[in-house]
Amino acid sequence: MLIGRINEIVRHPVKSLRGESVQKTKIMDYGLYGDRSHAYIDETKDGDFLTITHFQEMVQYQARFVGEESVNEYPKVEVITPEGKALNWDDEELLKELETKSNRKVSTKKYTPTHVPIGPIAVEHILLTTDASLEKVEELWGKDEVDARRFRPNIMIALEDKKPFVEEDWVGRRIRIGSEVELEFVGHCVRCMIITVDPDNAERDPSLHKTVIKENNNHFGIYASVIKTGNIQVNDEIYFID
């Protein structure tokens, strides 16, 4: 059964920074190639990850890979600051800026192209959302356009049947994406304050979170585990296989 097609693929080379929209990439055992493969560590919090939860201005920094994807070594990771300056993700100037703005001691951590453990990514491998659910949340919120980046999905699905929140019924089912990749839906994404942060100006509006809590039990999006790895690209068809 055809569910829909990939509308957008987004990976976040650095945890909690703004991601990059890509036309094609690989699905690895841990999820999208390079997703959350690099992270900043908050040394003032016993080595926890530095995230939007504690330093919401992180959403204004965009991370991207520069170069060809390789299973042996990641391409260079570049960060674009809110002022438009491009710096290596571990550049001393950038680290000092993050420390000053966050009032924390910051260090770096990166993983390998073949292994990013659950934790940096989230609670599961890949987060998928649908266009119909995003449009419904926007309608229910009734204030502004809802930027999909607030929800930090990896794959946005353009549904064939535009039924909002239909993904709530997908847990336990498997899908095929394109000709290679297979995923299994394993759980709903329970939302936190991160969705209240505007990706452009880092300002918070708790009313969006309250809307998601009230209208959909604080769920938005669905997590999936990787069953078969392979290549995906925008416009790939997505089918149930069970």
Interacting residues of 42 by C-beta distance below 8 A, sequence separation 6+: 48, 49, 50, 54, 102, 104, 105, 106
Chain mean pLDDT for the chain: 94
Residue with tokens 């939007």: 52
For residue 120, pLDDT over 80 is answered with no
What average pLDDT score do residues 191-220 get?
96
For residue range 157-198, what is the model confidence (pLDDT) as tens digits? 999 999 999 999 999 999 999 999 999 999 999 999 999 999
For residue range 19-53, what is the model confidence (pLDDT) as tens digits? 999 999 999 998 999 999 999 999 987 778 999 99
**Which domains, ranges and CATH numbers included, belong to the chain?**
2-240 (2.40.33.20)
Q: Which of 13, 230, 227 is nearest to 120 (CA)?
A: 13
